[in-house]
Amino acid sequence: MTEVKMTVNGRAVSGDAEGRTLLSTFLRETLGMTGTHVGCDTSQCGACVVHVNGNAVKSCTMFAHEAAGAEVATIEGQAAPDGTLNKIQQAFQDYHGLQCGFCTPGMVMSAAALLKENPQPTEAEVRDYLEGNICRCTGYHNIVRAIMAASGQEVPAVAAE
Amino acid sequence: MYNFDFEQPGSVEDAVAALKEEDALALSGGQTLIPSMKQRLNAPSKLVSLTGIEALKGVCQNGDTLSVGAATTHATVAADGGAYAALAALAGGIGDPAVRNRGTLGGSLANNDPAACYPSAVLASGATVVTNAREIAADDFFDGMFATALDEGEIITSVNFPIPEKASYQKFEQPASRFALTGVFVAKYADGVRVAVTGASEEGVMRWAEAEAALSADFSPEAVDGLTVAADGLISDLHGTPEYRANLIKVLTKRAVAAA
Ligand SMILES: Cc1cc2nc3c(=O)[nH]c(=O)nc-3n(C[C@H](O)[C@H](O)[C@H](O)COP(=O)(O)OP(=O)(O)OC[C@H]3O[C@@H](n4cnc5c(N)ncnc54)[C@H](O)[C@@H]3O)c2cc1C
Ligand code: FES
Ligand code: FES
């Protein structure tokens, strides 16, 4: 094991990691930050999406050592320190964009990456961007509506397919 | 996953030296290698990460050639590859945004998945694959499913794509894997048209010579109307029969010509 250092949600952190330690494992088990979920562990579902140097990545498909020195952002850093939800999180609550909540950390982090790149996406662009985020509960419509609302745009009454 | 030593060299020379160890493997974006290591299909003793090597990253145009570093992510090619729009569009259609932020050109070519997108662009463009040791013509690079002309420890450093007059990649997506169920890349150059097909043949990416001849004479979708693709040797799986893929090759070729 060797020490790896990175910044997570603005805070300098370090911990020991083996070569094979995944970034998701490092966040959850070494740092105890269990907000990042592991749904599939096969790079398919997107529950584990975090940002590394501003880019959305699947933390189950990256080694902790590859994030050495990087700025990592996770779901834990999205709300304000007093617990006030950010715009995207609040919209997920308002528009019922989650049921069991397992996919939600990844959905919120993907949505944040999308809105940074494209602050006023069309509904089709939202759906396209979420291609790598799987939700077994909601049927996606309310997730799309939440992201449209978070971007300050009109929310489709019944999201079209 | 079995454990391994992790190294992150800063230069191609250091990476090549590190790869001399038996059972050492290059790691680029990890979007193929990490899942396969989890399944224990690969168990390297050492991984040599290429993503810290700046010389392997970036897109640059030299006259009518677009040069792409092997460790350039799909997202960067999609954003900066505008001089070869069909290539940028292909990169922007690989997997999903998170995969595109990590996965790289070099990893895709070295892996040569029979359903991967990039091999079709490299073959249809008659591109040159540059390694630490030599230059390999696209026609000599791909060597059947998951096999290439690369020697052990040899690293792809960049790929030089001649920029075509017109081109288009049409991917019929397998929605679960997001790879190509079948994909066709058509590229028209002053001296002729090249057509490369991925996701269809059991031998991996291939050229469709009859369509190339027909389209070189008449670059229109109708030019391939009279051609048929034999189903022999095409992939059969639960997503499509060989006959279905044979039909897709023709349909996608016509769409690519129309869109080019
Ligand atoms: C959910 C998902 C969807 C995907 N969808 C698509 C898709 O639609 N189309 C598509 O084409 N691909 C798709 N992929 C695959 C993706 O494009 C991979 O990024 C790519 O195939 C491998 O590139 P990598 O940089 O991640 O390579 P790695 O996984 O790091 O490496 C793959 C192999 O190449 C070797 N290697 C890496 N770089 C070099 C180099 N420079 N020189 C020599 N050898 C090298 C490694 O040793 C390893 O054997 C998908 C992957 C996932 C997880
Ligand atoms: S847990 Fe990483 S993609 Fe599913
Ligand atoms: S809310 Fe349950 S998986 Fe998305």
ipTM metric: 0.96
Question: In terms of domains, do B22 and B88 share one?
Answer: no
Q: Tell which residue, B58, B187, B202, B203, has the closest CA to residue B143.
A: B203
Do B29 and B104 fall within a single domain? no
Please, which pLDDT band fits residue A158 given cuts at 50, 70 and 90? low
State the pLDDT at residue B145.
Answer: 93
- Domain, as residue range, for B14: 5-49
Tens digit of each residue's pLDDT (9 = 90 or more) over B157-181: 999 999 999 999 999 999 888 899 9
Q: Which protein residues are within 6 Å of ligand 3, measured from CB? A: A 98-103, 135-138
Which ligand is located closest to the Cα atom of residue B96?
1
The reply to whether A62 touches chain B by the CB within 8 Å rule is yes
pLDDT band at A115 (very low <50, low <70, confident <90, very high): very high
On whether both B174 and B154 belong to a single domain, the answer is no
Q: List the beta bridge partners of residue A50.
A: A57
Its CATH architecture, for the domain A2-77, is Roll (3.10)
**pLDDT band at residue A138, thresholds of 50, 70 and 90?**
very high
Residues B235 and B186 in one domain: yes
pLDDT tens digits, B47-101: 999 999 999 999 999 999 999 999 999 999 999 999 999 999 999 999 999 999 9
**What are the structural domain ranges in chain A?**
2-77, 87-150
Yes or no, beta carbons of A110 and B35 under 8 Å apart: no
Are B62 and B156 in the same domain?
yes
Residue B177 sits in the same domain as residue B114: no
Q: Do B1 and B39 meet the contact criterion of CB atoms below 8 Å apart?
A: no
Kindly state whether residues B156 and B94 are assigned to the same domain.
yes
Residue of B166, B160, B159, B135 lying closest to B149 (CA atoms):
B135
Are B2 and A20 in contact (CB < 8 Å)?
yes
B63 and B158 in one domain? yes
DSSP code per residue over chain B: ----EEE--SSHHHHHHHTTSTTEEEESS-TTHHHHHHTTS---SEEEE-TT-GGG--EEEETTEEEEETT-BHHHHHHH-GGGHHHHHHHHTSS-HHHHTT-BHHHHHHHT-TT-SHHHHHHHTT-EEEESS-EEEHHHHB-STT-BSPPTT--EEEEEEEPPSEEEEEEEE-TTT-SEEEEEEEEEETTEEEEEEESSBTTSSEE-HHHHHHHHH--SGGGGTT-----TTB--BTTB-HHHHHHHHHHHHHHHHHH-
Architecture in CATH for domain A87-150: Orthogonal Bundle (1.10)
User: Looking at the predicted structure, is the pLDDT value of residue A160 above 80?
Assistant: no
pLDDT computed for residue B175 by the predictor = 86
- Give me the number of domains chain B comprises: 3
CATH code of the domain containing B174: 3.30.390.50
Size of interface A-B (CB pairs under 8 A): 69
Preferred mutation among B28, B74, B96, B173 to probe A, highest tally of A CBs within 10 A:
B96
Residue B91 sits in the same domain as residue B136: yes
In this predicted structure, what is the pLDDT of residue B17? Answer: 98
Q: Quick one: B201 and B131 in the same domain?
A: no
B104 contacts in chain A (CB < 8 Å): none
